[in-house]
Structure formats: structure tokens, C-alpha cells
Structure 1
Amino acid sequence: MVNNSVKSNGGSGKAYVILMIGILALAFTAPWVKQSNFEPATSVLLRCGIGLLALLPFALREAKKIGGLNKSGIILSILAGLFLGIDFTAWNYSIFYVGSGIASILLNIQIIILPALAFLFDKERIPKSYYIIAPIMILGVIMSGGVFDGGGSTEGPATIYGINLAILGTICGLVSGCCYGIYLYTSRKASKVNAGQIIQPMAWATAAQLVAPAIFMLFFSDRGFDLTNGVLVNGALPMNPETTLGDPITAMNWFWVLVLGIAGQAIAWTFVQYGSVRLDSTIVAGLLLLSPVSTVAVIAVLLFGEIPSAIQILGVVIVLGAVAYQNNLHASLLRKLRGKKSDKETDVKQVS
């Protein structure tokens, strides 16, 4: 935990800048996965392997400067990474099935998982609003995934492995969001037992992320570790993706996976964690909403022409509204508006 003096001193400006860089990198993460076009599990292995190599020298420097993680910190970081590895693998499939923008929205189901875990294991009180927000959030997620209308203007097959593509993509997104919630819970506990150490927990977690995709490709994937062919053909899923290989991997695909590993893994997660522990949690929650909003409303549209349907757009609004409400962003906004109103009234009284 960081004390209030750290949050209120001049260093908060630096924390804002670093947090915003991390959020910007997160917003591009799903598009980078799609542009790299590697088989989903292979993509996770490459992303995390490259990210780990980028983090190692800084983690060693941090260990020399302020000391290494204790045993509890290492165990919790590894546990967090194991679930984040499942998250990334499922999320990559969701990106190819329902699009990078919608996949980024589906990930927000974590706001239901995190409070539930805190209640079950830490006996933290769940606000009454949770029981209203949870079903609304689930409805919004299902609408966002295109389950009700088959999705927006996307090319490719209607089904894969005999399952509707929108349904399968939404399921992958839900699995990803659930595992993301578990990651947030365990990483939060890891930060509590090792205050001030940011890069080392990320390095341990990133190393642990390699486990899930390795197991998946060994026992569940027909492709294995594929560095030859991707998933998409001319930017779209082939009509029979179960048997058709994607375009051959090119130098540009390798470039984007390097960007994904360095900027989307090492920089994004470390920078967000740095800002999160130094700034007010409500402010951080609000700023983090910029990432999925930017992905679905701007980046995915401009890069890939991913235009959500009307029902999907409504679902996106519901999901983002639920996230904002659950993080008390509305209460923070009301307090600021009341504060400005009282300041104006004070000024009027002083003038009169």
C-alpha cells in the first residue's frame, strides 16, 4: 500500500503520465494480437516470452535496489500469472472470433468476479448494488458479443466446430474475463505483501503465463507451436478455420508480435500497475475505461473496419456503464459537481 503523501505529492503528475502510457498500450493490445496473426496459444507464448526478456533486467535492478520478493509475494505472483495465461489464451481466440474491439469489452466481466472472490476469501462486504449490476453486466456482455444478432459487419464463417461463432467468441471472452478477475484478486494480494515492488511481481507473473498456452497447445490444439502460418486469410477468418491455415507468417507479423511483447506486455502492465498504486483508485478505474472504449470505438474501426451492430453498441454502453457504476465513478462525479457548486455559492456570498 502507498501512503497518502505519495499520492498527493508532485510525483502524482509522473504517475498520471505513466498510467496513461500504459492505458494507451493496453488499448492497442487486441489490435496488435490481430495484426501479428499468430495462432492464439503461440501468440501468448511469444508475447509473454518477449515480455519476460524485456522485464528481466529491470526486475533484477529492482531486486538489488529495494530487495527481492518474499515467499508469499512469489507464490501469489505465480498464481496470478497462471490465471492470466488462461485469460490471454481464451482472449486471443475471442479476438479472432468476435473482433478486437468486442473482445476488449467482454474482458470487463471481471468486475463481477473480483468482488465475489474478495467476499468468499477475505470476507469483504459486497454492496447491495452488486446484485443489481451483476445481471445487467451479464446481459450487456451477451449483447456485446453479438449472440442475439450474430455480430456486426464481420467477414468469415457463421460457425466453428459446429458452434455459432458469436456464441463461441463470447464464451471465450467470458472465460478470459473470469480469469482476469482472479488475476486481479491474486495480484492485489501480492502487492500488499510486497509494497513498493512492481516489476518483480510482473516478471514472475509473466513467466507463469507461459504455462497455460503450453498445456493448451500440447493437449487441446491441432496446430501446436506454429511459427509458419497464422489464423486470418487476407484479414478475415477463412470459411473453414478448423482445417484451413491462415496466411504465412511474414516479417511484419514478427514486428507486431515484438511490439505486442514489449509494449503490450512489459510496458502496459508495469506502467498501469505503477500508476494504480500511486493514484486514487476511483480515478484509476475511470481512466482504465478509456482503454476498451478506445479499442472498440476508434482503433478496431479504423484498423479493421469492425463495425458493431446496434445491439452490440447498446451492449457496450451497458457494460461500460456497469463498470463505471460499480467503481463509484458516478459518486465521484457528483461530489465534484457539488464541490464546484458550493465553491460558486461561497464566491457569490463573499462578493455580496
Structure 2
Amino acid sequence: MANNSATKGSNSKAYIILIIGIMALAFTAPWVKQSNFEPATSVILRVGIGLLFLLPFAISEMRKIGKLNKTGVTLSLFAGLFLGIDFTAWNYSIYYVGSGIASILLNLQIIILPALAFLFDKERIPKSFFIVAPIMILGVLMTGGIFDSADETAGGPLTVYGMNIAVLGTIAGSISGVCYGIYLYTSRKASRVNAGQIVQPMAWASLAQLVAPTIFLFISGRGFDLTHGVLVNGQLPMNPETTVGDPITAMNWFWMLVLATLGQAIAWTFVQYGAVRLNPTIVAGLLLLSPISTVAIIAVLLFGEIPSTIQILGVVLVLAAVAYQNNLHKTIFGKKSKDKSPGTA
């Protein structure tokens, strides 16, 4: 009885921590938009401040259960490199197609993760993957708004850098989803070679996350900008490639601190804590609450981001594909899955 009570108590704690982490993740895209920093600058600040926040906990973990081994460090750094690309591309996607839609596009990782596991680990891919993958891709294209007419994109620029803004935003969001899948694959391998460390892998990954946005600062030409943002009066200017946004204020810094602590350090640590202790199918189902909350509630209330009919259908397709790939339908109908699908994030 004592063991059962301890297990239930441990699971309850894991569920609570996981839910807090998921809710924090649901606000990350809106917080990026509210902080209004230049995309690559935003990543550096978010990750850098978050890393400083994590360091005391990483040191404490190191003293309690030991250092992360060399393989764990290498895999964490490799994972962090791709997560840095993910964050940078995702930030651009947030400004180009909206915080809610960008959160949905990120789910492209459910195609990438199983594919990598199949190619490099010889893990079996369920037959359903070959049905889900094209549906997922169609859903991503619909969600990005590239099938909508120009009239439905009123209130902002139609093109950026000579490309349709919906197409560019969808490409950025898709790059983000691909890199997120690579990160999940590598971080999963890292979790298999450590002794239960959670904070240390995140700290090493955070260090590597700074590489991609730093390189992009030199490519973009704008540089590290702490004075002006992207949006003007909450809207993307008509020529965002040449127009700087509103001056950075104390409120912008406040939202950046919130993003770095709650949306970066706490959210990712809490989700990782719950993910390694709970059933992966249940975790996958709960994780769906994050993009659903962002696109259906938070983005609508904070920014008035109302998806078009085609985008709503795309969102439904994407979320349905994620749910099916993670065997949520079997959980709902009381069937136990025989497959250990590598698609679970």
C-alpha cells in the first residue's frame, strides 16, 4: 500500500508539473510577440537569460547525482544547435503568420522524429505514418495560409523580401518544425545515456542554442538590436525588411524576462520532468493543449488573430494527425497500442 501511495503521489506531482510547463509553453509565442525584439536578438536574450536562470539548478543537480557524461554533453550540444535554428525560424514565423499559426506549424516534428528513428536507429515505422505524413503536410500548407486569397491577409504586407508573406512564414515555421524534430530525436538519445539528469542537458543545449541566432545576426545585416523591435503599434509594418519597429520599452523587457524564465527555463524543465515519468501517449495528448490553447484562445484574445476557414481546417488536420500518430485514439477508445511509435514528442 505504501508503495502504491508513493507512486500515485509521484504521478500526481509529475502531472501538475507537466501541466504547468505545457501552459507556459502555450504562452511562449505570444510572449515573443509582446517582447517585440528582433527575431535573432530575441532568441539570444531568451536563451541567455534562461541559461543564467538554470545554472544554479544545474550545479545543484550535478552535486546530487553527478555530472552529465561526455556522450550526454555531446548529444545535448548537438540538439541545442538545431533548437537554436528552430527558435530563430519560429520567431520569424510568429511575426509573418501569427503566434497561433506558428505554434501549429511547429508540430511538423511528428514526421521528422519517426523518420530519423527509422533511418539511424532502424526503429519500425507504423504503417499509419505513410498516411499521416501527407495529411500532415497538407494541413501545414493550409494552416500557413498559402491557399488563402490576398484579400484575407489584410492589415499587413503581402510580401517580404519579394516573397508572399504567408509562404515565407510557412517555410520558416516548417524549418522550425523540422529542426524541432531533430532536437527531439537527439535529446531523446541524450536522455538514454545519462543518470537521470534533467537540468544539465538543458543547460548544455541552451549554450549551443546561441550559435544559430548569433550567425544569423551577421547574415541579416541588422545586428544585435536592443533599441528597436519589429512591430509598429502592434502590427507588422508594410516594409518590415527595411523598417525598424517601435522603440524597446520597459514593458518589452518585462515580457522578455517572462519569456526567458517561464517560457524557456521553467517550461522546458517542467515538461521534461513530466515526460520522463509519465506514459508517453498521455504526455503527447496533454502537449496538444499547448498549440490548441495558443491558436484558439490566447492569440485570439491578445492579438485578434482570427484564422481563415482554410487555416482552421488545416489546424484540425495537423492536430488530428498529431493525435493519431501518438495513438491517442487508442487511448480514448480503451485499446492498448502494440507499437512503440517514435513519433511521440
What is the DSSP-based 3-state SS (H/G/I as helix, E as strand, rest coil) of the residue aligned with 2:254?
Answer: helix
Is residue 104 of structure 1 aligned with residue 103 of structure 2?
yes
For 2:318, the aligned partner's letter is V
Equivalent in the alignment of 2:137: 138
Spell out the pairing of 1:43-54 with structure 2 (5 A cutoff): 43-54=42-53
What is the DSSP-based 3-state SS (H/G/I as helix, E as strand, rest coil) of the residue aligned with 2:192?
Answer: helix
For 1:286, the aligned partner's letter is G
Q: TM-score, normalised by structure 1?
A: 0.92
Equivalent in the alignment of 2:339: none
Equivalent in the alignment of 1:331: 330
Q: Give 5+ residue unaligned stretches, structure 1.
A: 338-352
Spell out the pairing of 1:98-247 with structure 2 (5 A cutoff): 98-150=97-149, 155-218=155-218, 220-247=219-246
Q: Give 5+ residue unaligned stretches, structure 2.
A: 337-345
Give the drift of 1:9. Answer: 3.9
Question: Is the CA contact (8 Å cut-off) linking 1:7 and 1:280 kept in structure 2?
Answer: no
| Segments ≥4 residues shifted beyond 6 Å | 4-7
For 2:38, the aligned partner's letter is E
Question: Is the CA contact (8 Å cut-off) linking 2:65 and 2:195 kept in structure 1?
Answer: no
Equivalent in the alignment of 1:29: 28
What is the DSSP-based 3-state SS (H/G/I as helix, E as strand, rest coil) of the residue aligned with 2:234?
Answer: coil
* C-alpha distance in structure 2 between counterparts of 1:165 and 1:93, whole Å: 11
Question: Is the CA contact (8 Å cut-off) linking 2:105 and 2:140 kept in structure 1?
Answer: yes
Question: Is the CA contact (8 Å cut-off) linking 1:22 and 1:269 kept in structure 2?
Answer: yes
Is residue 61 of structure 1 aligned with residue 60 of structure 2?
yes
Distance 1:57 1:321, change over 3 A: same
Question: Is the CA contact (8 Å cut-off) linking 2:68 and 2:195 kept in structure 1?
Answer: no
Equivalent in the alignment of 1:258: 257
Equivalent in the alignment of 2:315: 316
* C-alpha distance in structure 2 between counterparts of 1:154 and 1:191, whole Å: 46
Question: Is the CA contact (8 Å cut-off) linking 2:68 and 2:201 kept in structure 1?
Answer: yes
Question: Is the CA contact (8 Å cut-off) linking 1:19 and 1:271 kept in structure 2?
Answer: yes
* C-alpha distance in structure 2 between counterparts of 1:56 and 1:243, whole Å: 38
Give the drift of 1:150. Answer: 4.8
* C-alpha distance in structure 1 between counterparts of 2:29 and 2:17, whole Å: 20
Equivalent in the alignment of 2:92: 93
Give the drift of 1:242. Answer: 1.1
Give the drift of 1:161. Answer: 0.6
Q: TM-score, normalised by structure 2?
A: 0.94
What is the DSSP-based 3-state SS (H/G/I as helix, E as strand, rest coil) of the residue aligned with 2:240?
Answer: coil
Give the drift of 1:10. Answer: 2.0
For 2:15, the aligned partner's letter is Y
Distance 1:32 1:290, change over 3 A: same
Deviations 1:222-253 (A, max 9, x none): 21100010000011110111111100000000
* C-alpha distance in structure 2 between counterparts of 1:20 and 1:37, whole Å: 27
Question: Is the CA contact (8 Å cut-off) linking 2:37 and 2:248 kept in structure 1?
Answer: yes
For 1:199, the aligned partner's letter is V
Distance 1:105 1:153, change over 3 A: same
Of all paired residues, the percent bearing the same amino acid is 77
Question: Is the CA contact (8 Å cut-off) linking 2:281 and 2:327 kept in structure 1?
Answer: yes
Give the drift of 1:154. Answer: 5.6
For 2:141, the aligned partner's letter is I
* C-alpha distance in structure 2 between counterparts of 1:283 and 1:7, whole Å: 20
Give the drift of 1:5. Answer: 8.4
Distance 1:153 1:240, change over 3 A: closer
For 2:198, the aligned partner's letter is I
Deviations 1:294-319 (A, max 9, x none): 00000000000000000000000000
Question: Is the CA contact (8 Å cut-off) linking 1:15 and 1:275 kept in structure 2?
Answer: yes
Question: Is the CA contact (8 Å cut-off) linking 1:156 and 1:238 kept in structure 2?
Answer: yes
* C-alpha distance in structure 1 between counterparts of 2:192 and 2:120, whole Å: 15
* C-alpha distance in structure 2 between counterparts of 1:197 and 1:134, whole Å: 33
* C-alpha distance in structure 1 between counterparts of 2:226 and 2:39, whole Å: 11
For 2:169, the aligned partner's letter is G
Deviations 1:145-197 (A, max 9, x none): 00000585662100001100000000000000000000000000000101310
For 1:205, the aligned partner's letter is A
Equivalent in the alignment of 2:280: 281
What is the DSSP-based 3-state SS (H/G/I as helix, E as strand, rest coil) of the residue aligned with 2:220?
Answer: coil
Distance 1:227 1:181, change over 3 A: same
What is the DSSP-based 3-state SS (H/G/I as helix, E as strand, rest coil) of the residue aligned with 2:334?
Answer: helix
Give the drift of 1:64. Answer: 0.2
Give the drift of 1:205. Answer: 0.5
Deviations 1:277-301 (A, max 9, x none): 0000000000000000000000000
Number of aligned positions between the proteins: 333
